Structure 1
Amino acid sequence: MSARFYAYNFGIPLFCAAVVFLMFDMTNIDIAFSNLLFDPLTNTFPLDKIHFFETLTHKWARIIPNWTAEIALVGAMLSVVWPLVNPQKRPGLAGFLERCKVAPVLRFAADHRRDFLFVVVAFAVCTGVIHFLKAHTSVYCPIETTLYGGKMAHIEWYNNFQLFHEAGDGRCWPGGHASGGFTMLALYFAARRYQWRFSSALLWGSLLLGFVYGTTRVLQGWHYMSHTFWAGIFVWLACLLTALAFYGRARLELPVLSKRERQVFSAQPEATL
């Protein structure tokens, strides 16, 4: 069972990484695709000049991952309140919170403290990994390079990678906007902990969201298509390693259960955070 888990969760993304590297980084497919979106007469990517498209796909789109991270952070902070209330020692305060309909929220947060903390940490780890790679490869976006009217040279990430110090001012690889959508994969791993039957929907929805986020920036000339794929690979691995640290492999590899089976399974004791 464990071999299948590792083969699926590590093997597939590593295989995808090899395919993306050979298919995109070692060829000119990225440039060929961006050439289709570039208007040589105006020397611009037309969609980059449409204000509404920029607002809709780049600014408003951030609402989903931003709100998710904020809700998780608030939940993590609220998770420590109910144990401090201690209804047995402070029945008056507990009764007041019950009457105000606040107690159920506090109990829910306390029961899911590990999950809220996991989402917060997973988002932070994903962001840190992407920012590290951006700074230590210094790849410039297509629109910034001489290929499309910019001033900077086009350089592949592997030609400029520096492990121990920043490689330059470029910040385009992997795709940052795409990674924002892919970080929603953290919810998939939390759902897997509870063997939720809609966990697959969260998986594919998060992958689709990241792909859409990344593709819109490709259309504007601010990324190559491979940048989106690389963002998805790194975010998946970051979320997976964080989930293993929080939940353990045994919990994550269990099959999805029906509602009744899940209730029975949830009643089983589990180490608290």
Structure 2
Amino acid sequence: MSAPSPSAFYRNHLVLPLLLAVITFLAFDLTELDRWISNLLLDPVNGQFPLLHDPVFEKLTHKWPRILPNWTGEAAIIGSLLSLLWPLLGRYPNGFITRGLNAARISPVLQFTTRHRRDLYYVVVAFALSTTVIHYLKSHTSVYCPVETTLYGGSQARVEWFENFRWFSAAGDGRCWPGGHASSGFTLLALYFVALRHRWRHARKLLVAVLLIGFVYGTTRVLQGWHFMSHTFWAGIFVWFSCFASALGCYGRQALQAPAPERADKPRAGAYA
């Protein structure tokens, strides 16, 4: 099976996300769509977001969901460190430590981390780059959350990110754009590129699942008034580009675009000739 053309690869992974960024900018940042959506979520009696101070909703949608991306990142860091051990221990197959690890059945874990060292390094790099990009944008745009603005009872003026952007200095104290909680869910997009590199047949399903996780993370904060809907879209866009750039740097396009291996049970051409 021949690999798809480079143009198709960049169309799917670069051009389409750029197109989504343009659509998001035109549909949200240049209109009042964000405010219209948030207004629909207000309690008409007191003009507040009903879930803003709900402790159960906060725990279920904000505190606990962080476990998934946090544990993924921590596992990648630990696995990266463990991947350096087995090549050293392998030099002494009859050593006391090696025999002890074999008896405790820990050796297969170390061997696994060694085989997938590049994947573990990639996840660490992708998570770090995504987090850095999001924090940079937050501090250099100084966008306040909806409930912090005068639109919904706060004291800060609402500004769009492009109105207050600074390249080399902090723009202010606002830290709401892009969505931080949504970006933590979208960082799992790194797993999609790992699956793509290994030609896992469920890679697209994994991609859809991660996108849903990110949107759910972001939407719950919209319901509480801590973000506008566009903040979730922008978080996903910037994390995607961070993971994509990291994947190109760690794997290269050819590795990400390699043709899927033929299944062993698939008959070869001419097998029944």
- Tell me if both proteins adopt one fold, taking TM over 0.5 as the criterion: yes
The two structures have a TM-score, normalised by structure 2, of 0.92
Q: How much has 1:42 moved relative to structure 2?
A: 2.1
Q: Report the secondary structure of 2:123's partner residue.
A: helix
Structure-2 residue corresponding to 1:99: 103
* CA distance in 2: counterparts of 1:259 and 1:73, whole angstroms: 33
* CA distance in 2: counterparts of 1:25 and 1:173, whole angstroms: 12
**Is 1:141 aligned to residue 145 of structure 2?**
yes
Q: Among 37, 55, 58, which residue is 2:59 paired with?
A: 55
Amino acid at match of 1:196: W
More helix as a share of residues: 1
Q: Report the secondary structure of 1:158's partner residue.
A: helix
Structure-2 residue corresponding to 1:230: 234
- 8 Å contact kept, 1:197–1:258: no
Q: Report the secondary structure of 1:126's partner residue.
A: helix
Q: Report the secondary structure of 2:18's partner residue.
A: helix
The two structures have a TM-score, normalised by structure 1, of 0.92
**What aligned pairs does 1:46-195 form with structure 2 within 5 A after superposition?**
46-88=50-92, 90-195=94-199
Summarize deviations over 1:244-265 as a string: whole Å, max 9, x none.
Answer: 000000011124445549xxxx
* CA distance in 1: counterparts of 2:247 and 2:159, whole angstroms: 34
- 8 Å contact kept, 2:146–2:152: yes
Structure-1 residue corresponding to 2:222: 218
* CA distance in 2: counterparts of 1:86 and 1:255, whole angstroms: 33
Q: Percent identity?
A: 56
- 8 Å contact kept, 1:196–1:257: no
Q: Report the secondary structure of 2:51's partner residue.
A: helix
Q: How much has 1:2 moved relative to structure 2?
A: 0.9
Q: Which moved more, 1:109-118 or 1:250-259?
A: 250-259
Aligned-residue Cα RMSD (Å) equals 1.4
Q: How many corresponding residue pairs?
A: 261
Change (3 A) 1:244 1:31: same
Q: How much has 1:97 moved relative to structure 2?
A: 1.4
* CA distance in 1: counterparts of 2:53 and 2:96, whole angstroms: 60
Structure-1 residue corresponding to 2:23: 19
Summarize deviations over 1:182-214 as a string: whole Å, max 9, x none.
Answer: 000000101111101111121111100000000
* CA distance in 1: counterparts of 2:102 and 2:20, whole angstroms: 51
* CA distance in 2: counterparts of 1:151 and 1:259, whole angstroms: 62
Change (3 A) 1:125 1:153: same
**Is 1:45 aligned to residue 39 of structure 2?**
no
Q: Report the secondary structure of 1:48's partner residue.
A: coil
* CA distance in 2: counterparts of 1:132 and 1:14, whole angstroms: 20
* CA distance in 2: counterparts of 1:129 and 1:256, whole angstroms: 32
Q: How much has 1:126 moved relative to structure 2?
A: 0.3
- 8 Å contact kept, 1:44–1:148: yes
Q: Among 194, 203, 212, which residue is 1:208 paired with?
A: 212
* CA distance in 2: counterparts of 1:237 and 1:200, whole angstroms: 17
Amino acid at match of 1:252: L
Q: Report the secondary structure of 1:39's partner residue.
A: coil
Q: Report the secondary structure of 1:47's partner residue.
A: coil
Structure-1 residue corresponding to 2:13: 9
Structure-2 residue corresponding to 1:243: 247
